[in-house]
Chains A and B, each alone.
Chain A
């Protein structure tokens, strides 16, 4: 766990690392992140050449390949601005594993510098922006799924719930075994599909049993997994990225 104990003051500019899953499958969530940050008076710089943080290759053991991709990302964040990542998984990769990947190499200092400026979205909104949210939506019961990376790699179990608790018409319910993995794990879901399926099935049942009408998550991997499973099972429950939910409720 790498909790950032000392948070900086709200900056004027930030970088956005959109993540490849948002880029490809949930770009509107990425746009919602931009809108949320701009509403706080922050200019969002989106380096066009960003692609992927490298995590899928990293966790598969292909570190040479992951390193080359990570190196390409490192060069995109030259200014000393915070780098906002709307994913605990990618955020964890860049904050925790980039320094490891480049240890004892010529990019060690650069990697450590970039890593020190990584903030997961909810973390940034709560601890740096001290955001105040005004709920304009209808009463709703929702559940939060915090990704394992956000929870354990980045130490951010409370930031998502803190944001949701600011929404006056939202009842935040907690599903049983809320800290248990949803079963995505990147390539785990395709290498060990049956075990992964058993995990996501339990997760879906738990959120339903908590009588949530909707769920949100800070990680699009988890979203694809849980939402995709619920759709497959023809359940009514759906989820979305927390950025989209927050923007929709407060805009």
Chain B
């Protein structure tokens, strides 16, 4: 097993950016060790179990009045249609955004997007940037990039604010600080912002509100993600409960919205089913406090809102996923997090163990495309294929099938169009499966082999790690079913 990862330089890890020595850096290449550590950590086990149980129940309750299967199918169809028309819709989105006064930029990868955003800030003399929640900005390691250029990038979503304060990364795509207890948060806020320790969540939240309010007032740039980008009207839709998203996109004089290219939808009405699915799948809410639909910067006659709005469209591997009919389904994702809420693996190891921006089932099918199968070699196999994720995905992504596809790519028997294809192919395993294949296609030898195993069952190993670390070794039966059936046929014939 590999050594636990402690702080490394940005060249060595995939997380990027510097970190203080006492903070653990998580890396997908150390999944086994990270999962091991998480499994032995009672707080992680307890926090995640409790939180996921709650979220699963809330989701169930939220869909009670709905014909859920019909709604999911509509969600899947709306997203599939958008993907089918993607290049045309992106051009339409760009046209309509521009007509609305939104400036549109394109970035092939995360680094280019970071540079674009940095240049937008620098050219406007911006030193302070405040952020609404954006997973794609995490994917790009935007904060680190801006900090290196002397631009402060402050997270304003409460969970992200806390995680940033702790110099960590989010452990869930909707609830970033789910791994932390109230007492930890109290300690953290006391440590970093000087408030008195308290276990009262209201008090802690009020303190954060006050601290961040000042920062909204003085921020030069507000950066947000985008939940849905509507091509028909050139509209950016943002979903939130806290109000920091609205503040971020309304108070600073410049608003930069960043999104993956797959988030576009064709028609305004397409937003309705996706919004209904997103909030209920994520947290069991019928609706979030705010649904914020932005179609332009402040007009001449208006009195508030940003003077400039920019949209940065980020590819970062998505157009490559797009090429393949099967892998394409990955891009339907609306980032609800239901898959990880229902995943028995995620519930037990938490989000950090994966070491990737997106953890859980969606992380396992997406990150291999972004980081390559080599770096994420243990992720596609870290699933029992129970299917709980696929069952709840609001846009019906066949996650277990995609996991199997990635496993196929990893051992070099796929189409080879995922980076790192073939990296897990080993002579040992190929030999094992080819032997199994031979045996299973030569029934005479199969019967012989299984018959022998039965006859010599007393010699069958009782020590078969790792199986027998936790279970007794299965013992071959003295007579196989084949043998029993043969005997029976013989007896019948003779009788």
Contacts and interface: CB of A to CB of B under 8 A. Distances in A.
Given A27-B480, A50-B443, A63 B413 contact: yes
B345 A195 contact: yes
Given A59-B407, A63-B408, A69-B437, A51 B349 contact: no
B384 A148 contact: yes
B66 interface: no
B75 to A, nearest CB: 17
A193 B388 contact: no
B467 A57 contact: no
Given A23-B482, A51-B443, A194-B36, A65 B436 contact: yes
B484 interface: yes
B348 interface: yes
A192 B35 contact: yes
A196 B390 CA distance: 20
Residues of A contacting B: mostly: helix
A51 B39 contact: no
Interface residues of A, number: 66
A195 B480 contact: no
B482 A48 contact: yes
A60 interface: yes
A24 B482 CA distance: 9
Contact of B477 (A1, A20, A26, A198): A26
B457 to A, nearest CB: 10
B344 A60 contact: no
A202 to B, nearest CB: 8
Interface stretch (A112-120, A209-217, A223-231): A223-231
Contact of B384 (A57, A60, A68, A181): A181
Contacts of A57: 433, 436-437
Contacts of A195: 35, 39, 345, 348-349, 382
Contacts of B472: 228, 231-232
A58 interface: yes
B384 A31 contact: no
A27 B474 CA distance: 13
Contacts of B407: 59-61
Contact of B433 (A22, A65, A179, A185): A65
Contacts of B378: 192
B480 A24 contact: yes
Contacts of B465: 193
B35 A194 contact: yes
A67 B485 CA distance: 26
A25 B466 CA distance: 19
A189 B385 CA distance: 11
B35 A190 contact: no
Interface in B416-445: 424, 429-430, 433-434, 436-437, 439-441, 443
Nearest to B476: A24
Interface in B458-485: 465-477, 479-485
Given A30-B484, A64-B413, A193-B467, A72 B441 contact: yes
B134 to A, nearest CB: 30
B386 A152 contact: yes
Contacts of B408: 61-63
B9 interface: no
Contacts of A190: 466-467
Listed residue (A59, A68, A153, A184) with the most chain B CB atoms within 10 angstroms of its CB: A59
A84 interface: no
A12 interface: no
A1 B388 CA distance: 12
14 contacts: A18-B482, A63-B408, A148-B385, A148-B387, A148-B388, A152-B388, A181-B386, A183-B384, A188-B384, A191-B382, A195-B35, A197-B469, A199-B384, A228-B467
Interface of B: 32, 35-36, 39, 344-345, 348-349, 378, 381-388, 390-391, 404, 406-411, 413-414, 424, 429-430, 433-434, 436-437, 439-441, 443, 446-447, 450, 453-454, 465-477, 479-486
The 3 lowest CB-CB distance pairs between A and B, nearest first, are A185-B384, A61-B407, A228-B471
